[in-house]
A and B are shown apart, each in its own frame.
Chain A
């Protein structure tokens, strides 16, 4: 564990430099523990894949005490071995056609049929490693290596809300219409983010997700 200073208002806690479920479990647990301490001056605690951002007001924060608290909590989460698997959240998706304009190209690149891509994408349970890009956008992994795809070199100017995409070994759902470079294989009508709900984001770090093919999907 290493604590790096990011200017005067943020600390970056580095547990490692990998994308790994166990390290990610520890990062999420550490972020939760730090948030629960409600230390004076701390404005926000956000986990990444293997790091935690601690945002604070430098005029209200006892930095030495904060660093000591991080070290204490980090020692506790480092003994965590594995997280109990929870019931996955199911997201219904229409694959292919207008809903997934890149499905055919992904299949061609993978050397299989579009139906094979759908089968491989829906066969796995994905872990939400972190959220970012826009509110409620979850970076999930990992997809079957045979359907892992690089991003478009030139991003689309507008990806419709609900689009399900692949980028490298990651998969994700665009919560709102936005520019984006992921390979779009389908679309969901599930509302990923709604700030008026008691839980604004459908997905949180550490959640597990399964995609379910809906009628109308490419077969």
Chain B
């Protein structure tokens, strides 16, 4: 039987989950039975792969210090930041579902959900604000640089909605900001928290960035290949919302399909969407996207190579295997 990622990485996922829940449960300012506490706990308990916390822990194994509670807290903080961004994403996308269940704003109302997301980010800042020394500056990258980049990626997505002239370079930059940088930051923060050499942390960052790119491209492919049940939302959702993802970009080079893709707008018919979905599934676009995904996995492998002699190197191989083996 195939091991799950946390088992393969030998990470105690229950401890991480406990630490994530502690962030809200130990917050004396939040009434325990409030809609805020219940909503955050429900979101956290609804699943999620916990990739970001695992990246923090994996990164920490490249340091000279023995990873402990500090790394668990950072791992939990990374998941909190990610979860906060999901709440706001669902509002932006007007998604009624998250992980197959009603999204948070569908239960609380939009204004409340926006502030629940804000609370989660502010709580992380509060927890990490004890680290004020120069030596610990890197911990704030999670709630500053990585989050700002995430927003920049979202701005790019907003500006290019239904923009069928989006270039490949623009798509890649948006993907880097939106997904890859937070994953890369998790690895680097984990490493630096355990006193890893800056050079090692930099290599882990580059590894994580390429892995994050591959992860997002896979997500783009799955929008066309996976079932609604496994996605937790209707297949083709990105296309419907005018998101020009990598398969769409490649499909736009097909002179027969391109005019139909370009005709897709917010009020397009189901027939047109279905026709384009089928066209993309049956053409070369998905194979080309898969090739690009492989390219980033190879880049990740190359970034990791100088760390081969490190006792924790196996962690990177596990991550490569996990990220590399899903779509193909």
A binds B: no
